[in-house]
Structure 1
Amino acid sequence: MDTIATLRSCYGEKFGVPRQSGLVDEAWGKLIFEPHYRNPDAVRGLEGFSHVWLIYSFHHTFNKDGSKREFQPTVRPPRLGGNEKLGVFATRSPFRPNPIGLSVVRLDRIELNSPKGPVLHLRGVDLVNGTPILDIKPYLPYADALPEASAGFAPDAPNQLEIKWECPIPKDFSSETIQLIENTLALDPRPPYQVNSANQREYGCLINGRNVRWMVQDNEIWILSI
């Protein structure tokens, strides 16, 4: 398949990216089309939709030589603490036979006069910066929203931890940047096997181009430095 666009997002590395779309509305992304697809006609009518589906490649899951990883029939979902194995097709793990992802995100606006052609400004993204986009489709509430559907082992949104600031908030931070950082960390990005650890380990996430250092203490996330 062709890569039709690249997503530029507020998340500079995999660690810290929300595990589902829509959990952090402040998580922004800019979809930049590849030269061959920079035709405004290709997005004509898309402005009438509030949300879009993104189909993309999990490009960080490939081996260093560019090959796909060997197929594994089971994975350990973070939602189950990483302790229980489930079939890969019963999860949204990025480690799949074909590393393809699917996310619904909010379409904030379409910039038509950019030097790089149409640019889609998105919110609620769960994608790392540089993600290759394979396709875009409009979200249709009457067909895509099924409130009566069952959700297996993940019936509800994940719990959120309280955020505390140990360091001063940088003066150049807007209120939206503060909310982006707080709402991202509140989802507890730690690997599941470290969640119940007694060790007070320091972590770091690259958010909005800033290295945010933090730790967890008494079920609270303390931001140590920016």
Structure 2
Amino acid sequence: MKWILALAAGGLICISCLLLIQRDELGDEAKNQGALSSRVAASSVSQSGIQRVSTRTPRALKSTEKGSSASALFGFDQSTAILRNDPNDPEQLLPEASELGSVELAPEIEIDHVLALLGSFRSVANAGCFPTGFNYEITNALLGKNKKKIAFISEKNVRINEEGELTDKWGSPYFFHAESSTKMEVRSAGEDRKMFTDDDVSSYRM
């Protein structure tokens, strides 16, 4: 009888030991899962932050950030592009392109020159439609980034700033508003360099 009780007691001790070991293992597993959850949560926050940044509208970088070539920043470099005409040969451009930037031009005439270039682009290189997009995108289209590979202005023109934008005589980027595929507004901020104030200069072309 005594030996049966001894065996039973020994069995209980073994079972208790097994239960303790299993409890410790479950505790370690819970700790590991908790740590893993923390890492996943941290990773999700980080990825969320990256997505929020990446969905912002790209801005033009300052000259100190982007180097010397503004057009290269936006994926087009006229100097290395294969074009059907020479943008640095005045005889291969409209007269308005060569005159653009002249100190003798009144702001109203200069805007008309810009509209003339856009009208030529529309007729020759874009199936009768005005270009759309940000200023630098429209400027790139005039520089030769178009399906016809025709340049309508030289990247050396003084009216193209370091951000690759076409500017008015006061250095402010023109505001291009394509009201439709066949109607374009070009607006200058004027001498006060503030858009939509009394001294703005604007014109339409249809």
Normalised-by-shorter TM-score class: under 0.3
TM-score (norm 2): 0.22
Instruction: Point out the structure with the larger strand share.
Output: 1
TM-score (norm 1): 0.21
Report 1 or 2 for greater relative contact order, CA contacts < 8 Å, sequence distance ≥ 6.
1
